[in-house]
Amino acid sequence: MASVRSVYVLHGPNLNLLGTRRPEVYGTTTLADLEARCAARAAEHGLEAICRQSNHEGELVDWIHEVGAAARDGRSVGAVVNAGAYTHTSIALHDAVEGSECPVVEVHLSNVHAREPFRHHSFLSPVARGVVVGFGVTGYPLAIDGLVALAGGGPGGPP
């Protein structure tokens, strides 16, 4: 029996507080609810969603390496990554995406470009295949759709 291909959904620091932390910015949807939405969208594409959250940069780096290996051997279409504050600080995550050739769509719940100036720069954007910002939890299913399209499994096909 062939295994189902996956899409990873990786959440960075403080996203475990989704639904309670600054609901006026991040909304009231919990992380569990968001992951259920991602699983449902992945299933629409015949994929399994592998959702993980960590407050630790090194763990996110390890997961990016895992996704890169899975993508290279056809087990995954890549990862939707909301690196939280690490987006703006982590050269290590940039290097992990670049080095592992992990297909990534970067996602942010809020429009980071309309917020504090330090949030305007992303170390992930230059190595991501796409970026979705400002659509709240709707951005995650959009990012999954984008990864599928980039993998040749949806409208638009590979770039």
> What tokens were used for 84?
């939280």
Helix 31-44 and helix 139-150, axial crossing angle in degrees, nearest 10: 30
Active site residue 26: yes
140 is catalytic: no
User: CA 90: distance to chain centroid?
Assistant: 15
Query: Residue 128: which residues within 8 A CB-CB, separation 6 or more?
Result: 81, 97, 104, 105, 106
- Rounded CA gap, 14 and 97, in Å? 21
The one catalytic residue in 11, 45, 94, 108 is 108
* 3-state SS, residue 46: coil
Among the options 8, 26, 86, 140, which is catalytic?
A: 26
Active centre residues (catalytic): 26, 108
